[in-house]
Structure formats: C-alpha cells, structure tokens
C-alpha cells in the first residue's frame, strides 16, 4: 500500500515538473481573483481578476473598491490590439514590431498589462505556476499567451491546434527560442548577402 501511495506522489511530482501543455493553456477557460493588501493594516485591498473564455482574455484591477482598470485582449484577432477602459471602448493598435523605446498608447497599455500580471498575479497568486487549476497557474498561462500575442505578434487560432512545433513544455521555453533562432538565421543571411560583390537581384 505504501509503495502505491509513493508511486502516485512520484507521478504527481513529475506532472507538475513538466507543467501544462501549450494546447491546454490555449483552450482552457477559467476565472481567478487574487487580492493583496495595499495599506499597512491590510484594510485596503487591490483585487486582480482574470477571465479567459476561448480567445478572449479580460483583466480587471480594482483598487480599494473605487479605482478600476480593465483590459480586453482577443488573442485570435488581427490586427494586434488592446481594448481598455471601464467600458472597453478605447482601442490601442500595435504599430511596429517591438515597444523598446517607443511611447504610444499601445506600448503604455501593454506595459500596464504586463506589470499588473507580474506584480499582482505572478507574485501573489497561490499555488505553483505549472498547475493550471491554481490561481498562479492561471495567471502564468495568461502571461504566456499575452506575451506571444502582444510582444511576439503571434495570432492564435482556437479552432485549430497549435501548429508551431515547440522545443519546450511552455511557450516561453519553445516558441520564443524558435523566433529568436529565425531572426538570427535571417540576419546571418542578410550579412552574407551584403558581403557578396555580385548579386542577382537588388531590392
């Protein structure tokens, strides 16, 4: 009996160590709320609520019941954009590849979303991030999906499987590395072409 129990514990620990599958993260629907105190006595609360239904991710941050911030991101919709504001009528559309050094509505909203997920969710969410049933795991799944959509320009499809072969168990370990290798490979080709004196085509 003890051997059986020990075997179950080992299996559970292995499943957590490898984390959830990318397809499960994409197609799971969930909702979670995480609170943290924002005053020395713990009376005032800051509440983060994440709701995911198919491709729609809604993030709400409420401070002391009075101040509320809200974002809606559809990770399966082009062009890449963020809806924000209490009534979600404001739209920030992405222009360009990266937000490094850029100052516009999109980059400001993207930075706020990332900061909220990190400071309110990943830091204070209970449980382990590899467990998709825990608050921490739900925030982590959301963080990975939005990182690919908002930062790496990956538009997902809920109806089709994830078609890009990943080298790791999560988007962060797989797809990002694949994109970086592709960029490095392209830059090497461009550098090689620039060193050639004779070119068939000059665009």
Tokens found for residue 49: 């609520």
Whether 171 and 156 have beta carbons less than 8 Å apart is answered as no
Q: Which residues of 58-79 are buried (b: 16+ CB within 10 A; e: fewer)?
A: bbbbbeeeeeebbbbbbbeeee
DSSP state of 185: H
pLDDT of residue 47: 95
Question: Residue 148 and residue 198: Cα distance in Å, rounded?
Answer: 39
Laid out side by side, the sheet with 90-93 consists of: 30-37, 45-53, 56-63, 67-74, 81-84, 90-93
Structure confidence at residue 185 (pLDDT) = 53
Taking the complete model, does pTM exceed 0.85, yes or no?
Answer: no
Across the 203 residues of the chain, what is the mean pLDDT of every consecutive 10-residue run?
Answer: 46 48 89 88 86 97 86 95 95 87 89 96 95 95 93 84 44 48 54 43 24
Per-residue pLDDT at 58 = 98
CA distance 130 to 143: 13
- Residue 165 has a pLDDT of 31
Phi, psi angle pair for 180, to nearest 5°: -65, -40
- pLDDT for the residue numbered 190: 55
| Tokens read off for 115 | 């900061």
Q: Pick from 150, 120, 146, 149: which is nearest to 135 by CA?
A: 120
Strand partners for 63: 46, 67
For residue 33, give both structure tokens.
């709320």
Report pLDDT for 3: 52
Task: Tell me the domain boundaries of the chain.
Answer: 19-179
């Amino acid at each position: 009996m003890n051997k059986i129990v020990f075997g179950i514990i080992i299996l559970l620990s292995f499943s957590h160590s490898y984390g959830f599958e990318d397809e499960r993260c994409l197609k799971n629907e969930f909702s979670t709320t995480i609170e943290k105190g924002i005053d020395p006595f713990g009376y005032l609360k800051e509440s983060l609520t994440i709701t995911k239904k198919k491709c729609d991710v809604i993030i709400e941050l409420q401070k002391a019941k009075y101040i509320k911030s809200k974002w809606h991101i559809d990770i399966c919709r082009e062009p890449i954009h963020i809806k924000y504001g209490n009534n979600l009528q404001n739209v920030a559309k992405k222009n360009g590849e990266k937000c490094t050094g850029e100052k516009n509505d999109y980059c400001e909203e993207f930075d706020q979303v990332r900061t909220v997920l990190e400071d309110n969710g990943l830091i204070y969410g209970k449980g382990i991030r590899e467990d998709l049933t825990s608050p921490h795991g739900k925030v982590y799944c959301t963080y990975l999906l939005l990182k690919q959509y908002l930062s790496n320009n990956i538009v997902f499809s809920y109806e089709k499987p994830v078609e890009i072969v990943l080298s790791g168990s999560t988007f962060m370990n797989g797809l990002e590395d694949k994109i970086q290798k592709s960029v490095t490979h392209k830059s090497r080709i461009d550098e090689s072409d620039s060193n050639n004196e004779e070119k068939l085509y000059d665009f």
